[in-house]
Amino acid sequence: MKHFIMFGPPGAGKGTQAAMLVDKFNLRHVSTGDLLRGEIKRETELGLKAKKLIEAGSLVPDEVVEGMIKNEIASHPEVKGFIFDGFPRTLEQAAALDGILAERGEEISGVISIIIDDEMVKARIRHRAEIEDRKDDMDEATVANRIKTYHDKTEPIIDYYKKAGKYNGIDGVGSIDDIFNRICGIIEKL
Ligand code: AMP
């Protein structure tokens, strides 16, 4: 089993790259953002609570996303590995993921971090807002809060994985194919 984390700020292209990696390496793509948007669409109780937080650009509570991940892992015993996208987003989530995998005798093989600066984050999200119908991409204050949340709560995870020797940073500037080739170069070595 090989599990990877696609890491980076909002709009870095984690979802696009993860979807491409699924085909090449036969992994299962798990995006907590997509799972939450599914809950919102189905108007579940969880979805209704998550909607407010997502539209404010804040994080959904750790235990909610950890439960989703646990469920997702348990319900796909057939896969060769997972590619986590948008998870973990806090140190607490990173430790929880290690715990969930350790119970199965597994671990994260590597973290691939797509590095772009805040100006590029804003530009990429503006571009996505023209293509996808995501409310959290359309409001400037929400985008600003998502960037702040990334720096405050998510970025500290980088050190956590650096200490574990699992962190791989790549330059996120370039075409989708350029970035994909950079990521493949790393994954093939892990
Ligand atoms: P994403 O599609 O990954 O950009 O996620 C969209 C929004 O869903 C985020 O801004 C958060 O509000 C929420 N979300 C997604 N993943 C997580 C997570 N791992 N922890 C907390 N909130 C999350």
Average pLDDT for 143-148: 98
> For residue 23, what pLDDT is reported?
87
Q: Which atom of ligand 1 is nearest to the CA of 90?
A: 20
Is ligand 1 within 6 A of the CB of residue 59?
A: yes
How far does the centroid of ligand 1 lie from the alpha carbon of residue 164, in Å?
24
Q: Tell me: the pLDDT tens digits for 15-65?
A: 999 999 998 998 999 999 999 999 999 999 999 999 999 999 999 999 999
Given a contact cutoff of 8 angstroms between Cβ atoms, the answer to whether 28 and 83 are in contact is: yes
Inter-helix orientation angle 62-74/91-102, to 10°: 30
Categorize the per-residue pLDDT at 154 as very low, low, confident or very high, splitting at 50, 70 and 90: very high
**How far apart are the CA of 73 and the centre of ligand 1, in A?**
18
pLDDT of residue 119: 97
Q: Would you state the pLDDT for residue 181?
A: 97
Probe residue for ligand 1, chosen from 35, 53, 59 as the CB with the greatest number of ligand atoms within 8 Å: 59
Q: How far apart are CA 114 and CA 55, in angstroms?
A: 24
Q: Mean pLDDT in the chain?
A: 96
Q: Is the beta carbon of 112 within 6 A of some atom in ligand 1?
A: no
Sequence-separated contacts (24+) of 139-147 with Cβ below 8 Å: 139/55, 141/57, 142/55, 142/56, 142/57, 143/10, 143/57, 144/57, 145/56, 145/57, 145/58, 146/10, 146/57, 147/9, 147/10, 147/118, 147/121, 147/122
- For 69-79, the pLDDT digits (tens) are 999 999 999 99
Q: Is the CB of 96 under 6 A from ligand 1?
A: no
First CA to last CA across the chain, in angstroms? Answer: 12
Question: Residue 89: CB within 6 Å of ligand 1?
Answer: yes
- pLDDT, mean of residues 157-173: 98
- Best residue among 41, 68, 89 to mutate for probing ligand 1's pocket (most ligand atoms within 8 Å of CB) is 89
Pocket flag, ligand 1, residue 33 (CB < 6 Å):
yes
Q: Which two tokens stand for residue 21?
A: 């990696």
